[in-house]
């Protein structure tokens, strides 16, 4: 056995896939032997299935062939159990295991031919359905995902068929009228075709192995992308974004947009090194991102000393406004705790929320795209955040957000209609913190 206990994550995944394929192969082979055993019983029960002169011979073969099929069925089930244990322990069977097992299975048709020859005659045995089992067992070696095992199985099967044909055609009398079945060239062709089945199985095994490796690599890359992306958005949203079709025109959605800005950031950063400023932002935004994610939002863009987040896109959320307000209030509460504990320099933020229709989609070149939000709703939310400075507020929301929010748990102050920079119409704002 080859131990792979210290395999890297990628090779470990491939190892598990190979072992699972071998387990499936053992299961399939067990079903084949069960089917052969059942077929043997059915043939004996069908009246006239065999000529009268052969019926006694077939009947005498019932027990030895039944025992052969039953023994191989048990063997495959034990093999399946052993592979399952290797799967749990992440061990890969050695090459001796595979080649030996392949040799045992490929030899079954040869044993059947010999049994039939002893009871029915060698020409009847060679012309029976038994040789058809060679390409069947050779084909199942594809699931080893090893082209050399398949080539070995094809070579052994061709050799065994050629050997038994040569053995019975030389030194054994040929019954009158059976000369056509004794033609050596027919068995040379059959052996060549059996060998060709090994070549085909080897090719398929190699192609399947390549596809499996590509699938594993793709799965690993996807998991890595979800892991990295999941640092900024919830796993649910990361999965949706990775699954989402990239539409040139994007899609129209109703979403609640949040803009957050750190007040007097220039003063906070003054006198600090870039490393200290980075550590401060990482600590602060790390807390805020977790809160946004917890409320089914996504931080879409970082804006230096702030960010833009969205609720209700790309994943639909019927309570987008409530989730946006709750996230904003929790951010403010968490910031107060951090200020009180002294873990950061005294910090204030301004947050603006607005809900409305906008376009969402991937924007950029073929080499790099970014999921973004475009529309008047985004512009209004940005202007509401700027208005927090005018009203000395931590959180301002539009009337459309307030109307669709429930159980705020905080005092609401009506700021009236406010003319926002760059907007044609005034917007009624409410101060929540």
Q: Which residue has the tokens 């059976």?
A: 178
pLDDT at 259 over 90: yes
Domain locations along the chain: 2-227, 246-431
Confidence of residue 9 (pLDDT cuts 50, 70, 90): very low
Q: Which residue has the tokens 């968490």?
A: 334
More confident residue, 155 or 50: 155
pLDDT at 187 over 80: yes
The winner for highest mean pLDDT among 24-38, 203-217, 266-280, 320-334 is 320-334
Cα separation, 409 vs 328, in Å, equals 13
Confidence of residue 25 (pLDDT cuts 50, 70, 90): confident
pLDDT at 3 over 50: no
The winner for highest mean pLDDT among 61-70, 328-337, 362-371 is 328-337
Tally of CB atoms within 10 A around 69 = 21
Average of per-residue pLDDT across 3-12: 46
HEC profile for the chain? Answer: CEECCCCCHHHHHHHHHHHHHHHHHHHHHHHHHHHHHHHHHHHHHCCCCCCHHHHHHHHHHHHHHHHHHHHHHHHHHHHHHHHHHHHHHCEECCHHHHHHHHHHHHHHHHHHHHHHHHHHCHHHHHCCCHHHHHHHHHHHHHHHCCHHHHHHHHHHHHHHHHHHHHHHHCCCCCCCCCHHHHCHHHHHHHHHHHHHHHHHHHHHHHHHHHHHHHHHHHHHHHHHHHHHHCCCECHHHHHHHHHCCCCCCCEEEEEEEEEEEECCHHHHHCCCCHHHHHHHHHHHHHHHHHHHHHCCEEEEEECCCEEEEEECCCCCCCCHHHHHHHHHHHHHHHHHHHHHHCCCCCCCEEEEEEEEEEEEEEEEECCEEEEEEECHHHHHHHHHHHHHHHCCCCEEEEHHHHHCCCCCCCCCEEEEEECCCCCCCCEEEEECC
Instruction: For residue 346, give both structure tokens.
Output: 């005294």
More confident residue, 313 or 397: 397
More confident residue, 263 or 54: 263
pLDDT at 178 over 70: no
Output the pLDDT for position 225.
Answer: 56
Residue 217's contacts (CB-CB under 8 Å, 6 or more residues apart) are 10
pLDDT at 4 over 80: no
Q: What percent of the chain has pLDDT over 70?
A: 79
Output the pLDDT for position 7.
Answer: 42
Exposed e or buried b for every residue in 10-26, given b needs 16+ CB within 10 A?
eeebbbbbbbebbbebb
**What predicted TM-score, i.e. pTM, was given to this entire model?**
0.53
The tens digit of pLDDT for each residue in 380-394 reads 999 999 999 999 999
**Alpha-carbon torsion angle 8, 13, 16, 17, nearest 10:** -140
The tens digit of pLDDT for each residue in 100-141 reads 888 988 999 999 888 888 877 777 778 888 888 899 989 888
Average of per-residue pLDDT across 250-272: 88
Mean pLDDT of the chain: 81
Cα separation, 58 vs 54, in Å, equals 6
Output the pLDDT for position 5.
Answer: 39
Tally of CB atoms within 10 A around 363 = 15
Q: What percent of the chain has pLDDT over 90?
A: 25
Instruction: Decide which of 3.30.70.1230, 1.10.3720.10, 3.40.50.720, 3.40.30.10 is the CATH code for 246-431.
Output: 3.30.70.1230
Query: What's the first-to-final CA gap in the chain, in angstroms?
Result: 67
Handedness of CA 122, 124, 127, 133 (dihedral sign): negative
Q: How far is CA 207 from the centre of its chain?
A: 19
């Amino acid at each position: 056995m080859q131990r792979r206990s210290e395999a890297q994550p990628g090779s470990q995944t491939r190892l598990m896939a190979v072992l699972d394929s071998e387990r499936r192969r053992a299961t399939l082979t067990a079903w084949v032997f069960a089917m052969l055993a059942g077929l043997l019983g059915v043939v004996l029960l069908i009246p006239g299935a065999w000529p009268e002169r052969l019926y006694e011979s077939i009947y005498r073969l019932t027990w030895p062939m039944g025992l052969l099929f039953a023994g191989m069925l048990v063997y495959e089930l034990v093999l399946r159990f052993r592979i399952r244990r290797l799967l749990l322990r992440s061990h890969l069977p050695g090459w001796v295991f595979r080649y030996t097992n392949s040799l045992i299975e490929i030899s079954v048709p040869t044993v059947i031919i010999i049994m039939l020859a002893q009871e029915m005659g060698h020409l009847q045995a060679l012309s029976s359905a038994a040789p058809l089992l060679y390409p069947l067992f050779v084909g199942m070696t594809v699931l080893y995902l090893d082209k050399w095992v398949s080539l070995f199985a094809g070579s052994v099967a061709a050799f065994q068929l050629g050997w038994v044909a040569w053995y019975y055609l030389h030194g054994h009398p040929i019954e009158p009228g059976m000369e056509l079945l004794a033609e050596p060239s027919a068995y040379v062709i059959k052996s060549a075709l059996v060998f060709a089945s090994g070549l085909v199985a080897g090719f398929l095994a190699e192609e399947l192995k390549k596809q499996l490796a590509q699938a594993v690599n793709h799965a690993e890359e996807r998991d890595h992308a979800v892991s990295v992306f999941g640092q900024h958005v919830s796993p649910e949203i990361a999965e949706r974004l990775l699954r989402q079709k990239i539409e040139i025109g994007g899609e129209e959605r109703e979403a609640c947009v949040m803009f957050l800005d750190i007040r007097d950031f220039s003063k906070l950063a003054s006198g600090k090194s870039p490393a200290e400023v980075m550590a401060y932002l990482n600590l602060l935004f790390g807390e805020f991102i977790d809160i946004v994610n917890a409320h089914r939002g996504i931080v879409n863009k970082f804006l230096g000393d702030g960010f833009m987040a969205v609720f209700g896109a790309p994943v639909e959320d019927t309570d987008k406004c409530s989730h946006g307000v709750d996230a904003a209030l929790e951010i403010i509460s968490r910031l107060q705790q951090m200020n009180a504990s002294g873990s950061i320099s005294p910090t204030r933020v301004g947050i603006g929320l607005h809900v409305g229709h906008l376009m969402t989609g991937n924007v950029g070149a073929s080499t790099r795209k970014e999921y973004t939000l475009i529309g008047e709703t985004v512009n209004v939310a940005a202007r509401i955040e700027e208005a927090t400075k005018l009203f000395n507020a931590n959180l301002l929301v539009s009337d459309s957000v307030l109307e669709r929010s429930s159980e705020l748990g905080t005092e609401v102050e009506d700021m009236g209609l406010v003319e926002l920079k760059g907007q044609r119409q005034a917007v009624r704002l409410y101060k929540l913190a």
